[in-house]
Structure 1
């Protein structure tokens, strides 16, 4: 029974990630569950991406704002983890000679800030679990405040990485551009997650 449940969860997560990766290519069919996601995503900065990333979670959400925010945060953690691994790989292989020292340093700095960002998001996931177990308003507000603070900090780290990789105007770098694209994607889904977290109310 446990193996079946585990298999179902893995299947759902993989499906959600595949839908998110194809954001902008497909529009999910309207159902009561996807209508709830669409209406909730209107408050985000990137509503189309929000719908595309979360539509695969629809059957498990039960029109619950807290579960929706949890799913959005999970997407952000997955994307941040993949981006951090991507930057680490480039940083390890990138040359550090005189002509590349500046770019190599920027990539190393980006890896550090993305690692911090991922840590903040993982802490947020744990805090979301604690908030789900909190029955009193004061406890709920404490956990929600921590969530908002840490997800905001994660966004700041992502922005810092992108600022550090900004082109210097003298030459274009495919490496910088590829990293910025990955991190920008993480920033978009993290921004959406924060917007949905901000909509959570006690008792939801």
Structure 2
């Protein structure tokens, strides 16, 4: 192993150590607050104080994790059931994500069952949308969990903002599921609302937990602001026109003129490209790309309904301008189509 590799390994171990310390510090801080609150009530109810002092370490740790949440009772009850004897804050946060995912999956199964029983077309459409949205909601939770439990301290602030965005998306997908039952004539909407109550509360609680982590970031500024010489480039998302996730190569691609970009697939209505319709090109777009994949749609009016799979990561779609490359459709709710499925281009 080279000196450089050894140095990187040591740095990563240090980062993991400090990252874990950050999680522990947050829990300890909240635990101290809970302890002080209990002590302040000692003279009011001595028997209550004795009962509190006998609380197990796991229960105390769960209460600490759930302290910054909006639905604390839901958080504590569900986390205590799943925690076993765990007191490690990092593991408890993982469990909190897994519990939320479990409840979303249960709601998804319920939507499938209700769809099979329903004879109302609008209700069936709403339930079908719910299944898709629940899958996407779980995907956002998993993405968030992966980042929360394995992050580079130097990117902590940006990462936490990303995680909060993903968690917000997870909640929005669940809300969108319920929106689909407007103007339906069955009780399926009420049943789904009951089925999603706990999962939505748990998802909102995860947002509270992550926000609690974010509040600890200022105390870690001494670590996060240590930069290498190459970090003197403008900080992504601070004052430039590119999204925070765009690396240098992606920014160059986004800034380039269309004539300078080499497309991976070309769609041309006149037959001069690889395909004459966008739908024909979709099966040829790889999934889980680690680098930009360019789909170039040449001038023309395309009467199509396009749905890009969410696993088509790093897909870049370009055209010849808003007046030249146009994709049109006329789906509408009044035609019996669920609003979620009306976009001409969707994901």
TM-score (norm 1): 0.69
* Offset at residue 60 of structure 1 (A): 1.6
* Offset at residue 92 of structure 1 (A): 4.2
Of residues 146, 158, 173 in structure 2, which corresponds to 1:126?
Answer: 146
- Cα distance change, pair 155–30 in 1 and its aligned pair in 2 (3 A): same
Indicate if the aligned counterparts of 2:104 and 2:199 stay in contact, CA closer than 8 A.
yes
Counterpart position of 1:33: 58
CA distance in 2 between partners of 1:128 and 1:88 (Å): 31
Indicate if the aligned counterparts of 2:65 and 2:93 stay in contact, CA closer than 8 A.
no
Counterpart position of 1:185: 198
Gaps of 5+ in 2: 1-51, 221-347
Are 1:197 and 2:203 matched, yes or no? no
Are 1:117 and 2:137 matched, yes or no? yes
Counterpart position of 1:162: 178
CA distance in 2 between partners of 1:68 and 1:199 (Å): 14
Indicate if the aligned counterparts of 1:45 and 1:191 stay in contact, CA closer than 8 A.
yes
Counterpart position of 1:44: 69
* Offset at residue 93 of structure 1 (A): 4.6
Counterpart position of 1:59: 85
Give CA-to-partner distance per residue, 1:135-154, whole Å, 9 cap, x none.
x3x22233322221111100
Indicate if the aligned counterparts of 1:148 and 1:194 stay in contact, CA closer than 8 A.
yes
Give CA-to-partner distance per residue, 1:111-160, whole Å, 9 cap, x none.
222221111112222223322xx3x3x22233322221111100011111
Of residues 110, 114, 120 in structure 2, which corresponds to 1:90?
Answer: 114
Counterpart position of 1:20: none
Indicate if the aligned counterparts of 1:69 and 1:197 stay in contact, CA closer than 8 A.
no
Give CA-to-partner distance per residue, 1:52-83, whole Å, 9 cap, x none.
01124162233x2x433322111111111221
Of residues 120, 123, 144 in structure 1, which corresponds to 2:160?
Answer: 144
Larger radius of gyration between Structure 1 and Structure 2:
2
CA distance in 1 between partners of 2:168 and 2:158 (Å): 16
- Cα distance change, pair 128–92 in 1 and its aligned pair in 2 (3 A): farther
- SS of the residue corresponding to residue 61 of structure 1 reads coil
User: Structure 1 stretches (4+) deviating beyond 3 angstroms?
Assistant: none
Gaps of 5+ in 1: 1-27
| Greater fraction helix | 1
